[in-house]
Amino acid sequence: MGRRSKREDILGGDLEAKEDGDVYRGPIKAMHVGNGSLVIELEWVAKMTPGKTGWEVFTPPEGYSLYLALDGIVQPQDIGQNRIFYDMPGLGHATIFPQGGSKLEPAKVKGLNLSS
C-alpha cells in the first residue's frame, strides 16, 4: 500500500498554470478525485497574456474547475518550499503554491470583484 499524506496547506494556496504562453492563477478552494480525474476547484481565475501588462480577471468557459485525467498526469514533483509541480501533457504545466507561499493579491487583478 502506498504512503498517503495530508496536504491541508494546499487548500487556500494558489494554483498557477502555464499554457501556450499565457499564465493562469487563482486560489484553490477544493480538490477531489472523481471519474478518473483530479478536480481542482478555484475561487476565481486571473490571466496574464504575453505583451499585456498585469493580471486580468478570466472566466473560463468550463467554470472554475480544472479536470486532470489521472492516467495523463506525469507524477507530481516536490520542487521545494512545499510547492508541487506537474506536467499536463498537451496542455502545459502547473505549480501549486501552499498557504503561506506565493500568492496573487486580488487587488492586482483588473476587473476582479469579490464583493458579490
Local confidence pLDDT in tens for the 116 residues of the chain: 344 445 677 788 888 888 888 888 999 888 888 777 778 888 999 999 988 889 999 887 777 777 666 665 556 666 766 777 777 666 677 888 888 778 888 999 998 888 75
52-66 b/e (C-beta count within 10 Å ≥ 16 → b):
eeebeebeeeeebeb
Amino acid found at 94: A
For residue 38, count other CB atoms closer than 10 A to its CB: 16
Torsion angles phi and psi, residue 48, rounded to 5: -120, 125
pTM across the whole model: 0.76
